[in-house]
A and B are shown apart, each in its own frame.
Chain A
Amino acid sequence: MRIIVCIKQVPGTNEVKIDTATNTIIRENVPAIINPFDTYAIEEAVRIKERAGAEVFGLSMGIPAASEMLKEAISLGIDKGVLMTDRKFAGADTLATSYALSRGIEKIGEYDLIICGKQATDGDTAQVGPSLARTLGIAYATDISKIIEIKSNKMCCLKITDDGYEEIEINLPALITVVKEINMPGLPSIKSMKKAKNSKIEILTFEDINADEDRLGLKGSPTQVRKTFVPVHEANNEMIEGTLEEKTEKLSDILLKLRTEVK
């Protein structure tokens, strides 16, 4: 079978520093990493490969430097990295991203399963998985915490929800998004790191993917950022001091008072 893992490069930290003089955001040059949820997607694809045999593609859309990240994904066990990079893809919201990825996937060809992380830590929208599945016209399920069984045309999974878990059966080809609970990613071996180093990442530009330009990048994005601002969190920062008895007394009073305000 063939599995495609969608991988996004995200900033290594979400810390936003504020320039108090101008009240604007300073984003230090933080190193880029594989979106944490995507590491579980990679690991799950690699486990299916080890269990049942599969060819695993890693697909990303981003700046040219993201090819280094795809090499890292190869060191983690995927077979081939494909990077979609073009100024025409830039400024894409989740709709334009899903469309672009769907064209990239079309270029890769036949597939049985697409695995995405539940969401990316820079946007937290969790939209690209479902949106991509709808664009491709295939089945999907979000927040998968366990793959119970894969057969040739069906797979059985556990899905985590607000209310507990659901056991579901999905027709293949399908797209799933995975949560942290699904596995514990392994570390790359020396051999796989060597393989990654010598690997070549396939680059796809606008010319390669047979896409409608109007549906890509900023042009294909219905949503617009009107304004960004740093939220003001004014914490009271009151430290409760005293002996253990005094501290617990004060804390109990505070909790009781807060509780009456809530209920």
Chain B
Amino acid sequence: MANIDIIKDKCVGCKRCAGACPFGAIEIVEKKATIKDTCTLCGSCVESCKFDAINFERDQVAEKIDLSEYKGIWVFAEQRYGRLKTVSLELLGKAKELSAVLNVSVTAILLGNGIHNLADKLIAYGADEVLVMDEDGLNDFNDHIYGEAIIDLIKEYKPEIVLVGATSKGRSLAPHISSALKTGLTADCTELSIDLESKLLVQTRPAFGGNLMAEIICPDNRPQMSTVRPKVFKPLEPDYNRKGKITKICKRPVEGLVKLVGNIDNAEGVGLSDAEIIVSVGRGMGSAKNIRLAKELADVLGGALGSSRPVVDMGWMPYSQQVGQTGKTVAPKIYIACGISGAIQHLAGLADIDTIVAINQDPDAPIFKVADYGIVGDVNEILPAVIEKIKQAKIT
């Protein structure tokens, strides 16, 4: 089995490894590094040592699979009511870029009922081939039915990379597939690249609420699977003159173990996960009734309304709008925090935001440390004036 130990003769007690350990599992005892019980054998420390004092033995995989059999990049084309999710188009763009490095083709996997006409759009956005399964039994998304269908396709076609959008459905579907295929899956990636030497997919993802980034690889198993957050990558400009191959898969889907009884859709509007601009409210709004100000600002800016946890706990906002560790992770371009103090649990829900604007009465609120623009003041005084000015600017 895998093992790690410190070669005491080489260790100089420099503490670099202790700093590199994400689990705090290395302690310096009598000027020598010591590995504690809490070590998870992740290997993060090995590179940090400048003295080759860490002896890390990784196990060899028992059965090596023939990696050369696996070729091509797949993107799961998620659709609902016959509309493609934008993250799937974003993934096609990235897949296209990665495919150029690997010199392979990009395939979109399209499942549903009465959706075959979406294949042209997928080709326009970068797919070289689309595998379409258009069946009655695929009318509603279903982890088990969709999952088993994709597992069979992967076993047959053997792609080397499979990318899935990190939507609520994608995050539920992808582990079903990877688990059945006994391969690796990296969640919520924010960057993907190909290592030129090994030709492996390098998957970058946040850990510990975004306080640490990790580069993950899956060297010995195929396919290499990732879920990717919406809006991390840009879709290509669609080109409807692009030619691609459309392959119809005729196969009866399996029976489901979970049945959809009914949908209760959110009101039409910009959802938190798709929003470019989010106006988010905290306890500093003062009352449930003042939240309409933030809603109005979101409306004039064309954004969505989010919330901190205390506001949801007090019943001022629904849980579906909660941003943070126990709520949603969001990645808008602009995040406007109104009366939010900025506890670490809240900041954990903010991924890849270009600009943070914070309004808070307390000049010492932690939110100002991460804000690009900050205003100390009462949101209920500031927001009405700002809304008015933006409205005027839009008219003129």
Residues of A contacting B263 with CB < 8 Å?
A: 163-167
Contacts of A213 in B (CB 8 A): 1
Q: Is the CB of A219 within 8 A of B2?
A: yes
Q: Would you call A249 and B389 a contact (CB within 8 A)?
A: yes
* Residue pair A160, B168 in contact (C-beta under 8 Å): yes
Chain A positions within 8 Å of B174 at CB level: 127
Interface residues in B13-38 by Cβ distance below 8 A to A read 15-16, 18-24, 37-38
Chain B 235-276 near chain A by CB (<8 Å), digits 1 or 0: 000000000000000000000011111111110000101001
A16 CB contact (under 8 Å) in B59, B144, B212, B376: B212
Task: List 17 other contacts, CB 8 Å, given A163-B271, A229-B215, A244-B385.
Answer: A25-B212, A91-B2, A130-B175, A139-B144, A163-B80, A169-B261, A174-B258, A217-B41, A224-B58, A224-B217, A225-B215, A231-B210, A238-B372, A240-B374, A244-B377, A251-B359, A254-B373
Choose, from B43-51, B68-76, B88-96, B123-131, the stretch at the interface: B43-51
Task: Pick from A91, A129, A219, A226: contact of B216, CB below 8 A.
Answer: A226
Q: Find chain B residues with CB under 8 A from A36 CB.
A: 325-326
User: What are the residues of chain B within 8 A of A54 when measuring CB–CB?
Assistant: none
Q: Are B356 and A235 in contact (CB under 8 A)?
A: yes
Candidates A126, A161, A181; contact of B187 at CB < 8 Å: A126
- Output the least CB separation between B364 and chain A (Å): 12
> Once the chains are docked, how many angstroms separate the CA of A37 from the CA of B186?
20
What's the least CB distance linking B279 to chain A, in Å? 10
- Chain A proximity mask over B356-395: 1 for CB below 8 Å, otherwise 0: 1101000000001111111111000110011001100100
5 contacts between A and B (CB under 8 A): A128-B175, A162-B273, A228-B212, A237-B374, A240-B373
Min CB distance, B186 to chain A, in Å? 6
Report the stretch among B106-114, B176-184, B281-289 that lies at the interface: B176-184
List the B side residues contacting A210 at CB < 8 Å: none
B185 touches A95 (CB 8 A): yes
Pick from A63, A133, A239: contact of B37, CB under 8 Å: A63
Task: Report chain A residues within 8 Å CB of B215.
Answer: 225-229
How many chain A residues have a CB neighbour from B under 8 Å? 107
Whether A52 is near chain B, meaning CB under 8 Å from some CB there, is no
Q: With A15-B211, A230-B211 given, is the CB distance from A224 to B265 under 8 Å?
A: no
A160, B390: Cβ atoms closer than 8 Å: no
Assuming A15-B344, A166-B264, A259-B277, is B186 touching A223 (CB within 8 A)? yes
Interface residue A53 (Cβ < 8 Å from any Cβ of B): no
Chain A residues 238 to 263 lying within 8 A of chain B, measured CB to CB, are: 238-240, 244-245, 247-249, 251-252, 254-256, 258-259, 261-263
Which one, A71-79, A106-114, A140-148, is touching chain B? A140-148
Which residue in chain A gives the minimum CB-CB distance to B210?
Answer: A231
In the complex, A198 has a CB within 8 A of chain B: no
Which A204-233 residues have a C-beta within 8 angstroms of B? Answer: 213-215, 217-219, 221-231, 233
In the assembly, what is the distance between CA of A254 and CA of B58, in Å? 52
A contact face: mostly helix, strand, loop, or mixed: mixed
Q: Within 8 Å of chain A (Cβ to Cβ): is B355?
A: yes
Which of chain B's residues have a CB closer than 8 A to the CB of A143? Answer: 168, 172
Which residues of chain A come closer than 8 Å to B171, judged between CB atoms?
A: 126-127, 142
Q: A224-B219, A237-B369, A252-B389 are in contact. Are A124 and B206 (CB under 8 A)?
A: yes
Contact (A230, B41) CB under 8 Å given A218-B2, A235-B372: no
Given A27-B22, A130-B143: A95 and B179 interface contact (C-beta under 8 Å) = yes
Specify the chain B residue showing the minimal Cβ separation from A18. Answer: B19
Interface residues of chain B: helix, strand, loop or mixed (majority)? mixed
Q: Is the CB of B184 within 8 A of A222?
A: yes
B40 at the interface (CB under 8 A from A): yes
Which chain A residues border B180 with CB–CB below 8 Å? 134
Roughly how many angstroms separate A26 CA and B326 CA in the complex, as a whole number?
A: 24
Q: Bound complex: CA of A158 vs CA of B263, how far in Å? A: 10
* B232 at the binding interface (Cβ < 8 Å): no
Asked whether B139 is an interface residue with its Cβ less than 8 Å from the other chain, the reply is no
- In the bound assembly, the distance between CA atoms of A64 and B38 in angstroms comes to 10
Q: Which of B59, B169, B369 contacts A235 (CB 8 A)?
A: B369
Chain A residues closer than 8 Å to B302, beta-carbon distance: 259, 263
A166 in complex: contacting residue of B167, B221, B262, CB < 8 Å: B262
Q: Which of B204-234 contact A (CB under 8 A)?
A: 206-221
Which 5 pairs between the two chains have the least Cβ-Cβ distance? A24-B19, A91-B41, A139-B257, A222-B184, A27-B24
Q: With A164-B266, A263-B276 given, is the CB distance from A27 to B23 under 8 Å?
A: yes
Question: In the complex, A159→B49 CA distance in Å?
Answer: 47
Cα distance A121–B389 when bound, in Å? 41
Q: Is the CB of B382 within 8 A of A244?
A: yes
Among A24, A127, A217, point to the contact of B20 (Cβ < 8 A).
A24
- Once A223-B217, A228-B22, A251-B382 are accepted as A-B contacts, the answer to whether A164 and B319 lie under 8 Å apart by CB is no
Q: A127-B185, A130-B175 are in contact. Are A64 and B37 (CB under 8 A)?
A: yes
Q: Are B371 and A237 in contact (CB under 8 A)?
A: yes
CA A121 to CA B212, docked complex, whole Å: 13
Q: Given contacts A95-B184, A165-B264, A239-B376, are A90 and B301 in contact (CB under 8 A)?
A: no
> Is B202 part of the binding interface, using a Cβ–Cβ cutoff of 8 Å?
yes
Task: Check if B42 is an interface residue, CB within 8 A of chain A.
Answer: yes
B261 touches A14 (CB 8 A): no
Known: A238-B372, A252-B393. A247 touches B40 (CB 8 A): no
The complex places the Cα of A138 from the Cα of B257 at a distance, in Å, of: 8
Contact A224–B218 (Cβ < 8 Å): yes
Do the beta carbons of A131 and B24 come within 8 Å of each other?
Answer: no
In the assembled complex, B101 has its CB within 8 A of some CB on chain A: no
Q: Does the CB pair A226–B217 fall under 8 Å?
A: yes
Judging by beta carbons under 8 Å apart, are B175 and A131 in contact? yes
A162 touches B183 (CB 8 A): no
Bound-state Cα–Cα, A78 to B168, Å = 29
In contact, B276 and A262 (Cβ under 8 angstroms): yes
